[in-house]
Chain A
Amino acid sequence: MPHTWTFVRNDTTFVVTPLDRLHSTPDQEETMPTDYETLVNQNLTSTARMGLRRRDIDRSFEVDDLEIRLSEPGASDYISLLSQGYSFLRRHHDGHYSDRTMIEVQRAIDSQYDDQPSGPRVVIARTKASVDLVSEVKKGGPLAAGFTFGERMVLAVHQAHRIEGLGGQMVKALRSGKPKLSTWVGTGNVGAQVFLLKSGWIITGMNNQGSIRFENGMGAGNGD
């Protein structure tokens, strides 16, 4: 049965597809700029390096009726998506985002009630949620949430739906129309490191708290 994926941007249905799943390419490791090779080897954990070599794994995405919705300040669904995204991020970032990042999203939500609201681009992937009010059973709901503050990306995927290609679709949506994205990943966040490197992101720096800065959009192998 074909999967139905819908992409909605700023209230308008933008693409109805199945979107192309983001695959790593066999030569991705080789196309990584050599300037960063040393940096990668020095700073990635051994588990992350192992993950990079697991090229042949193909996990098909198993969720049907997925909607990926993108919104920016001013759109009618913006406040709703921002709130959903914050709620989701709060529960699924696994401690990988700092309080500062969380507060940044909180402030964006609160500013929507100001005279001049501002905020990040937000992308939510969710399946249709259904709630039975008698049994109190809920099925479906958000599977991933992402934000871009300028070029900085913040992304979280539901624990039960990782390594299914969903993150790649989220990045595609977050990146649309933007020349470059960057993101910070802690050295302990092996899953994110593997994901970004397999998607062709490159390491451009580290800070003194052990986080690695990744960038997407500096050349070939940028995830498109």
Chain B
Amino acid sequence: MKLPTFGFELEFDTRASDVVSHLYHSVRHEDDDVIGSDTLHSYHCGCEYCDFDSGYPLRGQTDSSCSGELISHPMKDIAQAAPLFEAIQEAAFEVDAEPGLRSGLHVHVGVGDIPDATLARFFYDWLKWEPVFGYIARGRFLILRDFNASNRRQLRQTLAYMGFNTWEDCADLSESDKYTLYAESRNCDRHALLSTYTRHGTWEFRIWNSTRTAWRMILSTQLSRIFMTTEFHDVLDDFDPADVQVRDAARDLLTALRLIDNDEVIVTANLLERQLDWQEAISDDSTKYVEPFTLV
């Protein structure tokens, strides 16, 4: 089982510029800078520090919806990303940069040479499991931020043309219909929970709420990557999220992960269990949820 290449865009509601400054002045990764500049550059800046060939694994840029974002270079292995996540976590807590519901974590996963028919299958499963991923993606928050459009809603009209009034009506679509849905998703606005057409050869999982902890960054990244493997969808076929409440379906997804014999998947499953425990705890006892979450 080989997980695909990936990259991430991590946004902060507040003090993204301070995170960038702290990373530049204080953090060395294997004796190298992790970021080439100590200020946020403009959105989609193409300067020498923001270029993919800059040699720096991170760059910081402004973003209209929040205080700014950290963007990584493409990576092949989570071992490359983990030290960066740790560094970002350290910087964010040090400078009191906070995630929030105006910001998100976007994980780009390389599509590579995955055949379109397989991608259509993945996308159909995404539509089936979208509410479950939406539940998990809340992170430390009580809700999923509402900035991104639901893929199900984006394709509502397409489903109607295909003769289905509700999502529940199309439980068993033909391969051809699945392909139609996938193809249509590539014509939809990219500000969706999952964007299937990014012009980078990736699927962009925009669903994740923002976070300032390394373990949630790893969880989001790895779940996005695992989703792009056939092995995962093979085990997922044995579960139907429509049958149960979303909270239970999330536990089913955890069970599905545990059926895969792979070290990275096992680690991800453990992180997912931690996340589900947290969500169930704050759901059952709201006093465990604290706002604001920087207290000096």
Contact = CB atoms under 8 A, between A and B. Distances in A.
A131 B278 CA distance: 15
A158 B22 CA distance: 18
A137 B21 contact: no
B108 interface: no
Interface string A74-104: 0000011001101100110000000000000
A136 B22 CA distance: 19
Interface stretch (B160-168, B186-194, B207-215, B233-241): B207-215
B206 interface: no
Interface residues of A, number: 28
A106 interface: yes
B15 A143 contact: no
A135 interface: yes
Contacts of A90: 18, 21, 95
B288 A138 contact: no
Interface in A136-178: 136-141, 143, 158, 160-161
Nearest to A84: B94
B296 A91 contact: no
Interface of B: 15, 18, 21-22, 25-26, 28, 38, 93-96, 99, 140, 211-213, 215, 274, 278, 288-290, 293-296
Interface of A: 79-80, 83-84, 86-87, 90-91, 106, 109-110, 113, 127, 129, 131, 133-141, 143, 158, 160-161
Given A133-B213, A137-B293, 7 more contacts: A79-B26, A87-B94, A90-B18, A91-B15, A110-B25, A136-B213, A138-B96
13 contacts: A80-B26, A90-B18, A106-B25, A135-B140, A135-B288, A135-B290, A136-B140, A136-B293, A137-B294, A138-B96, A139-B295, A140-B296, A141-B96
